[in-house]
Amino acid sequence: MELSTLQIIGVFLVGCISGMGSILDEFQTHRPLIACTMMGVVLGEPTTGIMLGGALEMIALGWMNIGAAVAPDAALASIISAILVIAGKQDMNVAIGLAIPLAAAGQVLTIIVRAITVGFQHAADNAVKTGNLSSITWLHLGALLLQAMRIAIPALIVALTIGTDAVKNMLDSIPEVVTGGLGVAGGMIVVVGYAMVINMMRAPHLMMFFFVGFVVAAFTSFNLVALGILGIAMAFFYIQLHPKYYKGFAGASSAAQGKNKLDNQLD
Euclidean distance between CA atoms 187 and 81, whole angstroms: 15
pLDDT at site 127? 84
Euclidean distance between CA atoms 216 and 208, whole angstroms: 12
Tell me the pLDDT tens digit for each residue of 192-230.
Answer: 666 766 776 667 777 788 888 888 888 888 887 888 898
Euclidean distance between CA atoms 113 and 240, whole angstroms: 50
Query: Which of these, 54, 48, 72, lies nearest to 62 by C-alpha position?
Result: 72
The amino acid that residue 3 corresponds to is: L
pLDDT at site 186? 59
pLDDT at site 183? 64
Residue stretches of the chain with pLDDT short of 50: 249-252, 262
- φ/ψ of 44, rounded to 5, equals 90, 10
- pTM of structure: 0.63
